Structure 1
Amino acid sequence: ALELTPVTDPVISKVGGNAMLEIKPHGVLATVVWTFSPAAIPVVSWTETNPVIGAGYENRVTLNTATGSVELRSVNLSDAGVYTFQGTTFTSGREAFNGSVTLKVYEPITNVNVKPSLAQPIANQALKLTCEVLGSQTVSSRLWLKDDGPEQVSITGPDQAVLNSSVTFTCSAKSLPPCNYTWYFNETETAQSSQYNIASVSNADRGSYTCVAWNSVTGRNTSAVKEFNVTGEFIGFVREIFLPGYHPLISRNVKCVCNTEECCWSNQMHV
């Protein structure tokens, strides 16, 4: 007989849940018999007629007559163990197959409690934490989580930029679990993301940018502030100023006007 490997082994279920004991034999199914080891208790059998359900499995077992798979409903702790199957299929002729699948059943875990070794923990001294639960006597795994922060919030990005350029500010913080970020510009909320982008800088973008980092588990928040300035677009150096039709007199005042937002004046005398 062909040794057939089940689709999933072991199958894990909780008390009160449903378990699928799934197999995929080759060819067209002709017969199949499921038993519960080690006493070979009949679960369900089929020989091209109506399935025969074993005692104690009435209204709890459904057989898929196309594949031979079994669904066991309302699982209880006594259902845990090894289920064996054997059957035949039509291929070029009749071909026999057999195999087994293990069902593991667990009670739902409730009342999870973390118990410290000291009622009042002391800084810089050892502390033991014990995870206690009600439910299955055997707990397959435990995952420890430590919630902390946010701390050390900072904003990276330029302190100033020229008109029409693009700018990105990035906010970061130490936090477990990762925190959420909210941006404020001059005390008005503007975005909710770790990054704040300005596609084209204008004079209206001058001001204070505040990033607030918030941990939804610890309920704590903290913030950082960046002052941002906008400078005019660099045009170039003006080497000489010509005043057509006007001849300044020595020791007399002359007024020169620059038609850009920011100018830097320099007076150099050449003989």
Structure 2
Amino acid sequence: MDQSITWTAVVLILTGMCVGEGILPPGPLSGAVAGAVKFTTTLKPPEKPFLSVSWSFKGVNIITSTSVNVTDPGHADRISLDRATGALELRGLVLEDSGEYTITIIPDGGLQKLGTTTLNVFAPITGATIRSPAATLIEDKSSTNLTCEASGSISTRVWLKDGHPLPPSDRVSFSIDKRAVFIRPVQSSNHGTYQCRVSNPVSSMTASYNLTVNFGPHNISIIGPAEASPGHRVMLQCTADSVPPANFSWLFNGNETQVNTSSYIIERLGEENIGNYTCTASNLVTMMENSTIIYLRASCAAPCWSFSVLVISTLALRRLI
């Protein structure tokens, strides 16, 4: 009789009929250090309690529950077993709890059921920060790098600039582990806020860094009317793309004025105000400057026609002299 029972068991094992398919949900499971995780099964409580429920970790028994429980001393205060379904809760997780877990269930009448899954334990991410060498960066003359640091189990690092993904380019490159980004050389487009998003399956953290690239002045222009009615107030506004903000100065017909702001204001347009206005923007860090010119004239509507003639005659007289 004993030989018959043994032979039946061997046949079941060889045919795979003893393995309970889908007894554990697909893994891996993720857990945080000091946290808890529950290995649930797909089983419903049977009419008759299971004869035996066993869990092992890396081939070493954690708990075997029959009429009594036999528990590994290292897990005694950290596990709870649901005898009805075989589910196991593991608390106080440590990194060393990562690995393969196996459940073996022997029903009261039926086939042995097996299930295996994997647990990955991660240390929560803390202290994320971005570091960069302290230096004054000037467009096309300087290079720099940003380094993303954090504590914990780091699975991924993602770099962003001004809220958008930062792609590699002919000037932007990354270290293999994405820990550092290199910019050689910097340009005005590299000026802005950089973010490094560090994550693992149980936590994430984002660090920010404002990178200052000194550049310009670029795109200098004068906003204002090219012509205006005599007696009217006229304002010319000079703009330029520059970091730090540009300093401004104005020339009128090639002569220096006392205006050193971005705005040139004429309270009442007169004959003496007709001519070329030159705005010069300068950057004291990049040591660059740029200029633009606008010609201001009186409008030629009928009411100011005589005035326009007067202006032309006066200018012609000055040229003759």
* TM-score when normalising by structure 1: 0.46
* TM-score when normalising by structure 2: 0.40
